[in-house]
Amino acid sequence: MSLLGNVGVGFLGRWRYNTEVAAMLAGVFQLAVRPRFWPRTVREQLAKQILFSGVDALGLVSLIAVLAGISVVAQAQYWLNNFGQSAMLGPILVAVIIREAGPLLVSFVVIARSGTAIATELASMRVRREVDVLDAQGVDPMVYLVMPRVLGLAASTFCLTLVLIVVSLGSGFIFGVLLGTAPGSLSLFTGSVLGAIARADVANLLAKTLIPGLLVGAICTREGLCIRGSVTDIPRAATRGVVRSIAAALIVSAIASVLTYV
């Protein structure tokens, strides 16, 4: 009975947590479609979040993209040499970068940079009672603190994934030319890439970028705003936000792959 009780408590706790995150996302969607909840201050918060999560991360994402493209080509060289089909380089890059690795890499970057920052910032505001001050002044924390961060992370994740895909394909083609495993013409390589992309890949990419971005934003804001205690709880909130965000990104990626390709 003790074991069953512990399992039940854990299940109920997980169910309650998931319900809170889902309710937060539903509230964000409900507020986002109403123009009156988009005053100048909220738009500024959204712009700042996109600037920090998206624009400031371009350098790191570009570096990761270059290394990812080179790594995929280096690993694929053996198969390309054996089969003697250089036209397969494009489909291989599509299968690895666009369908699986690209969205996950960007999600990890967003979680490490922005998710940690959001959880830490909001937890600090909670400890210093700044959230209570905003609420007392008539400023809805859901509108001013949660909505722009959640939507900003989703938009940044999607745009950064597109950048990573383009840079990875470019670096993979250049490295493939140097190794002699890529088609000699850029047009042939582009045609092989476009020919390997199906409608299912577009839906898969949207699911693996927008949904994790929304979940990371909701999870990290929830962890930051729901602490009750002292300053020592701030790093714990950031850690919980990162761990649960990574788990959510991996689960969404696995579910999207199964629903799309199986």
**pLDDT (0 to 100) of residue 78:** 66
**pLDDT (0 to 100) of residue 1:** 57
CA angle 116, 67, 59 (to 5 degrees): 50
Render pLDDT for 132-146 as a digit per residue (tens, 0 to 9).
Answer: 898 888 888 999 999
Averaged pLDDT score across all residues of the chain: 88
Residue 43 in this model has a pLDDT that exceeds 70: yes
User: In degrees rounded to 5, what are phi and psi of residue 40?
Assistant: -60, -40
Q: What is the model's pTM?
A: 0.90
Lowest-pLDDT range of 22-31, 108-117, 182-191, 203-212: 182-191
Which of 130, 252, 260, 150 shows the shortest CA–CA distance to 204? 260
Render pLDDT for 169-190 as a digit per residue (tens, 0 to 9).
Answer: 888 888 877 877 666 677 877 8
**pLDDT (0 to 100) of residue 192:** 80
**pLDDT (0 to 100) of residue 103:** 93
**pLDDT (0 to 100) of residue 204:** 92
Residue 229 in this model has a pLDDT that exceeds 80: no
Which of 224, 190, 205 shows the shortest CA–CA distance to 106? 205
Q: What is the mean pLDDT of residues 12-24?
A: 88
Amino acid at 167: V
**pLDDT (0 to 100) of residue 80:** 61
Helices (H) and strands (E) in the chain, counts: 12, 0
**pLDDT (0 to 100) of residue 86:** 54
Q: What is the mean pLDDT of residues 243-247?
A: 95
> What is the separation of C-alpha 50 from the centre of its chain, rounded to a whole number of angstroms?
13
Q: What is the mean pLDDT of residues 236-242?
A: 92
Residue 57 in this model has a pLDDT that exceeds 80: yes
The ranges assigned to domains in the chain are 2-261
Residue 4 in this model has a pLDDT that exceeds 80: no
Which of 23, 56, 42, 21 shows the shortest CA–CA distance to 221? 21
**pLDDT (0 to 100) of residue 184:** 63
Structural tokens at position 51: 């600037």
